[in-house]
Chains A and B, each alone.
Chain A
């Protein structure tokens, strides 16, 4: 599988309701060792939503200060985004991701701590 097989795929819950599309794939660095990189990146879950631009702006990050108007717009745009734990994914096929749970059981994605490069 490739990342592009997931990104943009339609996400459907247990009852066949659409939750939008896969906007991002959250990775956690606790997989099997990958050479010099160390622990590999494992899929932790999916960020799903109806609005494409919301998570790409980066204003949903913790510790990022946005002008209040931008922050408010970003919040409105991302209000329907949900985090799907990978364990709830039943099937990925033909640009469609099927879940074992219901859409209203899912929570909003937790903001990740920092922007890339901010730590160095």
Chain B
């Protein structure tokens, strides 16, 4: 169940780097950043969880962060890719993990893994027999 309205939490301490669990109980990445959207009255609301190298790169900063972001950009078909974005509307519960209502198959969370699978793993002889 989601917590009662009005509760307070510290974003970096209680949300960042938490494991995301999808509706089927599978791992679906980590919380690498949060999207904050302004309202008319000047306040900001968390509207999405950003996950994966595209989001983490910006947070790490420095050479490592730039490298992570540029690798992510290279792997992505779009010219100027956004990080993986999970709308906060699919969040069911915040706790030691962040639980979603949706299955990860409906979310674009494992882009890097898919790329590695298609480009490298699939070319290894016998890889076609590997169980999912």
Chain B residues with Cβ below 8 Å from A30 are 5-6
Chain A residue, CB-CB nearest to B95: A117
Q: How many residue pairs between the two chains, A and B, have CB atoms under 8 Å in the bound complex?
A: 129
Chain B: minimal CB distance from A55 (Å): 7
Across the interface, do B95 and A23 meet the contact criterion of CB distance under 8 Å?
A: no
The B-contacting residues of A in range 13-35, CB under 8 angstroms, are 23-32, 34-35
Interface residues on chain A, number (Cβ under 8 Å): 39
Q: Which B2-31 residues sit within 8 Å CB-CB of chain A?
A: 2-14, 16
Question: Contact at A35–B58, with CB atoms within 8 Å?
Answer: no
* A38 CB within 8 Å of chain B: yes
CB of A11 closer than 8 Å to a CB of B: no
B73 is an interface residue with CB less than 8 A from chain A? no
Q: Are A116 and B95 also in contact (CB < 8 A) when A3-B11, A24-B13, A44-B8 are?
A: yes
In whole angstroms, how far apart are the Cα atoms of A31 and B6 in the complex? 9
Decide yes or no whether A119 CB sits under 8 A from chain B.
yes
Asked if residues A36 and B43 are in contact (CB atoms below 8 Å), the reply is no
Given contacts A27-B46, A31-B43, A42-B46, 6 further A-B contacts (CB under 8 A): A7-B12, A37-B92, A39-B6, A41-B88, A55-B10, A116-B94
| Chain B interfacial positions (CB closer than 8 Å to A) | 2-14, 16, 33-39, 42-47, 50, 55, 58-59, 87-92, 94-96, 101
Q: List 18 A-B contacts (CB under 8 A).
A: A1-B36, A2-B34, A4-B59, A23-B12, A27-B11, A29-B3, A29-B5, A29-B9, A31-B46, A34-B87, A35-B87, A37-B91, A38-B2, A39-B5, A40-B47, A40-B88, A116-B9, A116-B14
Interface residues of A (CB under 8 A from B): 1-7, 23-32, 34-44, 47, 55-56, 58, 86-87, 112, 116-117, 119-120
